[in-house]
Amino acid sequence: MRTLKRSDYAGLVNYLLDPQNKQERVGDITITHCAAREPDVAILEVQHTQSLNQRAVSDKTYHLVVSFRSGEEPDARTLAAIEERLCAGLGFADHQRISVVHHDTDNLHVHIAICKIHPTRHTIHNPHNDYATLARVCADLETKFGLQRDNHLPGRRGAQSAADDMEAHAGMESLLGWIQRECRTGLVKADSWPDLHALLNAYGLAMRERGNGLVVSDEHGTTVKASSIDRSLSKARLEARLGPFVLPERAHVNEPASQESQPAGRTNSKPLTPRPGKAPPESVINDHTQEPPQGDRKRYRKAAIAGRIDTTHLYATYQQEQADARSLRAPAFLALRDRKDREIAAAKRHGRLQRAAIRLAVRDRMTKRVLYAAASKSLVNEIARIHADYQQERRQALNQYRRLAWADWLRDQAQKGNAEALAALRDRPGRGAVTGNTLGGQVQAGASQTGGDITKHGTVIRDVGGTPLRDTGDRLIVGNRFNARDLRTALMEARRLYGNRLHVEGSDAFRQAIAREAGHLGESITFDDPALEQYRTEALSQPQAKEEHHEHTSANRSRSGQPAGRGVQGDRAARDGAGQGGAESPQRGAGPIGVRPPPESRNRLRDLSSLGVVRIPGGAEVLLPGDVPDHVEQPRAAADHGVRRPVPGDRQVNAALAAVHKYVLEREQKRISLSDIPKHLAYDGFQGPASFGGLRTVDRQVLVLLQREDTIHVMAVDAARAHRLKSLRRGASLTVGPRGGITTGGRQR
């Protein structure tokens, strides 16, 4: 691979960081094994690493998605440990990567963008049999962290897997799934070829040979492999059980369908037609003698999967809108293209008139050249503007007339406030059970359940007063990280949706906290659980305490309202105990709960009003020098922050690193086509002799080029050092000392 277009690492990370106008999407952002701590700078660093390998022909980016079951919300330390273990299992332990947590679906998931080029060896790593490796590692992680068990290796492959994907993601019933549900049992039990063909004919199907196997087709020519329906229906097993294959006496599958029965859209295969110069096969001859199918027989129709809710009217509206979009898309694109051509022709005509006016009005040759250049530049800019406007309008038209799957159309309608479409989304099969901390009850008539981001299974994600809540229709999911304000907001929203009597499910800590907050609110909220109701009554009789954050509140809590830079955890490779559940207490001498505090922590001023006299209860208890805080009567030098060097996290250093990586990446890209350009690397802290290669300015940052043998090292310098180096000639000898100091002829620069 000679370019970076195939491995668009920047495009992938920018997609992961894009909030997409959603209230809850982007969570924690973690950068690993990069010197940069900002995503934009880390992208340049990864692209530079990828450009150092010019021999690899495969993709240089590995995109890994880690998804959790509905209701599971591991904390930041657990997510860090899981990411570290998965990357190590795939062989990417030392590789650069950026991970982003997303909250915009029914399942918490983490995207990990991994650079497959090793940062020091510059070799590419392609994991072998990564599906099996991930399945084994995920099973171990589920056991270690107590997560719900899942199936990690697909049990179905080929056509069966594609049919399942179609029904799960698009919400449309596939031909393969319909045959398996309607007549697979009868096909497996058929005792002869005539019985098997008769059963298929009753459902509007027919079986014929294709290649070395058998296929089953419907009236419109859509085909599936017979062995995909059931393994016992393969040609070898059927012939072993029923004898050699026999064509049906009267086949109908390839009969052209009428306009009324032909569904919108393309079919998967074409009707079987005889080749020129050859006699048509027997199945085609028999097609013309087949009577039209009777109306009372079951026939496959490509439609939405049937559920508890009747979606006939919705599906008819969906088909009509898709047909209208198909008929309007081409004329809209044609009108945009014609208008673009007219505007370009008008701009060129205006340019010719300008040149003619210059030729007639100006006599000086030099003035003419200047005016001609200005007119040409103006024409080029005008044509570029026309093309940009055309591309933007074309994208808008494509979005307006885009083709939507049934599930996507339901989601789009539900987003617009269609309650019937929202109910159909929630009725789709494949929706998992609601788990976690939830509030529920009897849905109140007239309570609006829209007004937020909606997932493909009808879960509405709302931001109510800064508190993210998930509404599944009959449950309100609070989540595992909450505080008192979140609980009060959830109670008020649950009362609006379900009335005053609520049903609570979740952890014991959540149930007690929600009952306590209900008692503090003093509202007419009751619970159907007698234990919670008693706890609420006791809290109601007590004076309301000060608002304290619940123990589940995390300092690293991620919300989409935070800036993109927040939540960046940095390099986690050096962390110890990343998989442990809790963090070590930062206080000195803090013991476990229930242990008496040390002497210096007792009898503080806040308790002075409740103390009688100052006394020492035990004669052996005295204040030792070690009990006194370090800053009391301990002389030490005062900090002078004015002379401190900038640390790697400062904005100036980040800008300098970005300029270095940008220049190195640009030179390495040009080196692909120009062999005389030497290899460029970012300054890695080497010490010793070098040659002065010149100064460069990138994004207002001055860079010095230090040449050693056939490699040029790029270092960022300040304005004062750049002024001193400006007098050197190219190729002058210099010495690089500690911390990047440059000496020429015994003089420090």
pLDDT at 669: 83
What average pLDDT is seen over the chain? 77
Residues 441 and 418: their CA atoms lie apart, in Å, by 23
- Contact at 8 Å (CB) between 225 and 159? yes
Query: If you count them, how many residues does the chain have?
Result: 749
Note the pLDDT of residue 340.
95
Widest Cα–Cα separation across the chain: 117
E strand or H helix that includes residue 183: none
Query: How far is C-alpha 109 from the geometric centre of its chain's CA atoms?
Result: 8
pLDDT of 736 = 87
Domains of the chain, earliest start first: 9-145 (3.30.930.30), 174-287 (no CATH), 312-407 (no CATH), 431-541 (no CATH), 651-748 (no CATH)
The whole-number pLDDT of residue 148 equals 87
Min mean pLDDT across 107-116, 250-259, 339-348, 589-598 is at 250-259
What is the model's pTM? 0.60
Q: How many whole angstroms separate alpha carbon 622 and alpha carbon 625?
A: 10
pLDDT number for residue 127: 93
Cα–Cα nearest to 126, from 207, 61, 73, 185 = 61
- Separation of alpha carbons 94 and 571, rounded Å: 11
Cα distance between residue 678 and residue 155, in whole Å: 52
Task: Quote the pLDDT of residue 604.
Answer: 55
Q: How many whole angstroms separate alpha carbon 40 and alpha carbon 661?
A: 11
Query: Does the structure show a pLDDT above 70 at 296?
Result: no
pLDDT at position 601 is: 55
| Helix, strand or coil, per DSSP, at residue 458 | coil
Percentage of the chain beyond pLDDT 70 is 73
User: Torsion angle, CA of 483/488/489/492, rounded to 10 degrees?
Assistant: 160
> Quick one: which of 106, 30, 40, 13 has its CA closest to 67?
106
Q: Other CB atoms closer than 10 Å to residue 347's CB: what's the count?
A: 17
Between 625 and 698, name the one with better pLDDT: 698
34-48, 306-320, 391-405: least confident range: 306-320
600-611 burial by CB neighbour count: b if 16+ within 10 A, else e?
beeeeeeeeeee
The pLDDT score that the predictor gives to residue 478 is: 87
pLDDT tens for 629-674 read 444 444 445 444 444 444 544 556 678 888 888 898 888 888 877 7
CA-based nearest residue to 7, from 118, 88, 116 = 116
Sheet holding 679-682, edge to edge: 679-682, 711-717, 701-708, 688-698, 733-736, 742-744, 747-748
Q: Which of 98, 91, 127, 134 is nearest to 113 (CA)?
A: 98
Query: pLDDT tens-digit profile of 471-503?
Result: 888 888 887 778 888 888 888 888 888 888 899
What does the pLDDT look like over 506-551, one tens digit per residue? 888 888 888 888 888 876 788 888 888 888 888 777 755 444 434 4
pLDDT at 559 over 70: no
Tell me the residue ranges of DSSP E strands in 13-148. Answer: 26-32, 61-67, 97-102, 109-115
Instruction: At 394, list the tokens.
Output: 């074309």
* pLDDT classification of 614: cutoffs 50, 70, 90: very low
Q: How confident is the model at residue 402 (pLDDT cuts 50, 70, 90)?
A: confident
Q: Are 372 and 352 spatial neighbours (Cβ–Cβ below 8 Å)?
A: no
pLDDT in the model for residue 556: 40
Q: What is the pLDDT of residue 524?
A: 79
- pLDDT tens-digit map of 152-162: 766 555 555 66
pLDDT in tens, 365-378: 899 999 999 999 99
pLDDT at 341: 95
CB 434 within 8 A of CB 504: no
The per-residue pLDDT for range 56-80, each reduced to its tens digit, is 888 999 999 999 988 788 889 999 9
Q: Copy the structure tokens of residue 554.
A: 């995390």
Quick check: 215 and 258 in contact, CB under 8 A? no
pLDDT band, residue 749 (cuts 50/70/90) = low
Tokens of 332: 């809209």
Distance of alpha carbon 221 from alpha carbon 673, whole angstroms: 51
pLDDT in tens, 430-474: 676 777 888 888 888 766 666 778 888 888 888 887 788 888 888
Two structure tokens written together for 622: 């005295």
Q: Which two tokens stand for residue 12?
A: 């992938």
Q: Worst-scoring range by mean pLDDT, 31-40, 81-90, 339-348, 508-517?
A: 508-517
Range list of β-strands (E), 93-205 = 97-102, 109-115
| pLDDT, position 596 | 54
| Stretch 341-356: mean pLDDT | 95
pLDDT band at 106 (very low <50, low <70, confident <90, very high): confident
Tell me the C-alpha distance between 278 and 280, whole Å: 6
Radius of gyration (C-alpha) of the chain in whole angstroms: 36
Q: How much of the chain, in percent, has pLDDT values that exceed 90?
A: 25
Q: ∠ CA(324), CA(326), CA(331), 5° rounding?
A: 95
